[in-house]
Amino acid sequence: MSKKGLLRGYVLSHWPNYLLAILLIIASNIGQASLPRILGSFTDQLMQNTLQMQTVIRYSLSLLAIAIAYNLLFGSGQFMIMKLGRRFEFITRERIFRKFSELSEYYFSKQGNGKLLSYFMNDVTSVREAISNGVTMTTNATFLLLSCIVMMLLSGIPLTLILISIVPLLAIPFLVVFFGPRIRKRSRDVQEALATMTESAEEQLGGIRVIKTFAIEDNARSRFGATVDDIKHKQLRLVRLSSLFQATLPFLGALSLVVSLLVGGILTMQHSITLGSFVALTLYLRMIMGPLQQIGNVINTMQRSGASLERVHDLLSEVPDVREISEAEALQQVQDITIQNLTFHYPGSAAPALKHIQLQIKAGRTVGIVGKTGSGKSTLVKLLLRTYEPPQGTIFINGTDIRELSLDSLRSQIAYVPQDGFLFSTTIRDNIAFSNREAPLGDVEDSAKQAMIYENIVRFPDRFDTLLGERGLTLSGGQRQRTSLARGLIKQARMLILDDSMSAVDAVTETGILGSLRKLGKGKTTLIISHRISAVRHADHIIVLDEGQITEQGTHAELMAAKGLYAATYRLQEEGLHHV
Ligand SMILES: Nc1ncnc2c1ncn2[C@@H]1O[C@H](COP(=O)(O)OP(=O)(O)OP(=O)(O)O)[C@@H](O)[C@H]1O
């Protein structure tokens, strides 16, 4: 789909409504354009002293009828077009959100939140304005101009006089060609600077606690100030150019009035045209100035929205880097997992995050993964969940390459509990029953008990209905982790992955949770990633990762006997515990 196709597709699918709206506006313009003609003929009758009370009333009523008709017709046409514009905005926002949900983590890691939000806020609005104002103003301007010219001819104004008066207006297309691309470039600069500012504001607000504890408010202010300054500078550059452009248009209109006064005045004095025709001509030229300014505005709006349309189009055409093959298989149940010679580089990264990983995870077994920070533990899980696409022929579930599985079936079979499980600003119950909003309270309570957060929750004022986040309660790090763990457990998936999900929980609680998981999780395949050996020591199999490679593996006893990194880390951590 081309950039313009996004708009064209929408307009074409609503063409009857657009057509009706355009016809209403055209009809209103024809009525409007007859006003100067009526006033011209009124002037002529006035000059000939043929006016009677009845005629004056008739003229007044005609003007009133035209005004009312204009109001109704133009108002309805504009309303229809504005409504269609709002619908476009609504549909496009939905499409953008759907696209966001299809895109992979890699896409989001490259884009700041501010930039992503500006698609919803600035870009969609700017395109909507362009189609709403664009259609209304273009129709209005074009047909008012045409109607005025036809009416001028019908009013007995000679064609040469009309053409001479209009000559100054012929410069407009040249001005448009000159100013158009320049305004567009400056407008794009402003959009980008705005996105950077939103991003910076969001980051500073998100990190406000860190900023305060490090007492670097001045630093933060000056960094934010620089982005605001940049916007001001770029906006002024844009405003300078677009003001010059917009001011030139009325100037040309005024010039055409000067010509008409000069030539039309002489022709009136020579009685070549009537005074009424001369009055009508000046009124028409004044009337034409409005549409001319509108043309300028339309062009400016179009220029402004061009960049936005391009951005929205580029986003909607973005191909997700993790996608299903056309005949993806649905995974029925996670059983044996085989990882075969898996080497993985993050996009754009020269060093591999994982090197030649060979691993068998038998159904129903618990596998522990330990390793220093940055050793590749989370990367392994991300590949298993296809957050990033693993190379072909490296990860198999039940003998099928996971790249041949449907994403939905793969992810719904696995309950993944990350270290920093995000909690939404809603109730604790909704946060836990995230994968199934209909889950009965009993199930929510059971999983909270398994995650050892139940006792905390029942002490909150509204128990499971307690609101979290901005409008509610703030949980401690450990409480957040256990709530997120309960969210994973309620899913009742065949496979559970705990990715350092108890790092903020004290050792005693951790032992309690692991004990209950061992009891209740019988038959479930479990992957426990941890820095703490205490979390994995009871696993059936433990692997030690170091710089993306498996350096040791076996049971706790075997690894202790091997006296390698695992045994050394264990002793260090045990010592630490004894010193607490
Ligand atoms: N999105 C990414 N893009 C590029 N490199 C990444 C990305 N995520 C992780 N890495 C790199 O891959 C390597 C492994 O990271 P990973 O997050 O898997 O380590 P980890 O063992 O889980 O660490 P931790 O215990 O601190 O969570 C690191 O060198 C990290 O810098």
Q: What is the pLDDT of residues 520-562, one digit of tens each?
A: 767 788 899 988 888 888 889 999 998 899 999 999 999 889 8
Asked whether residue 543 falls in the same domain as residue 482, the answer is no
For 405, the domain range is: 328-413+495-513+522-580
- 500 CA distance to ligand 1 centroid (A)? 13
Q: What's the number of CA atoms in the CB half-sphere (13 Å) around residue 191?
A: 29
Q: How confident is the model at residue 116 (pLDDT cuts 50, 70, 90)?
A: confident
Quote the pLDDT of residue 535.
85
* pLDDT, tens digit, 9 for 90 and up, residues 241-282: 989 988 887 788 788 888 888 998 899 899 888 888 888 888
**Per-residue pLDDT reduced to its tens digit, 326-365:** 887 888 888 888 999 989 998 888 889 899 989 888 888 8
Q: Please check whether residues 242 and 125 belong to one and the same domain.
A: yes
SS3 358: strand
- The total domain count for the chain is 3
Same-domain pairing of 162 and 212: yes
Do 504 and 484 share a structural domain? Answer: no
Q: Which atom of ligand 1 is nearest to the CA of 106?
A: 1
> Is residue 321 in some structural domain?
no
Residue entry with tokens 């995650």: 451
Q: How far is the CA of 416 from the centre of ligand 1 (A)?
A: 17
348 lines ligand 1 (CB under 6 A): no
**371 touches ligand 1 (CB under 6 Å):** yes
Residue 486 sits in the same domain as residue 369:
no
Q: For residue 265, what is the domain's CATH number?
A: 1.20.1560.10
Tokens of 47: 């000059």
Residue 447: CATH number of its domain: 3.40.50.300
Q: How far apart are CA 362 and CA 556, in angstroms?
A: 17
In a domain, 307, yes or no: yes
Give the number of other Cβ atoms within 10 Å of residue 497's Cβ. Answer: 23
Amino acid in the structure at residue 408: D
Cβ 326 under 6 angstroms from ligand 1: no
The domain boundary residue, chosen from 284, 316, 348: 316
Is 491 exposed, middle or buried, given 0-12, 13-18 or 19+ CB atoms closer than 10 A? buried
Please, what's the largest Cα pairwise distance for the chain?
122
- Out of 316, 339, 363, pick the residue that ends a domain: 316
Whether 268 and 304 share a structural domain:
yes
Residue bearing tokens 């002490």: 459
Q: Residue written as tokens 């989001």?
A: 108
Quote the ipTM score: 0.95
**Does residue 322 lie in a domain region?**
no
Q: Is 387 in the pocket of ligand 1 (CB under 6 A)?
A: no
| CB of residue 501 inside a 6 A radius of ligand 1 | no
Mean confidence (pLDDT) of the chain? 85
Asked whether residue 334 is assigned to any structural domain, the reply reads yes
455 to 446, 452, 489: CA distances (angstroms): 12, 7, 17
405-409, long-range: CB < 8 A, 24+ apart? 405/328, 405/329, 405/330, 405/331, 406/324, 406/328, 406/329, 406/330, 406/331, 407/322, 407/324, 407/328, 408/330, 409/329, 409/330, 409/331, 409/332
Q: Tell me the pLDDT tens digit for each residue of 194-250.
A: 888 888 888 888 888 777 777 777 877 888 888 888 999 999 999 999 899 888 877
In this structure, are 482 and 408 located in the same domain?
no
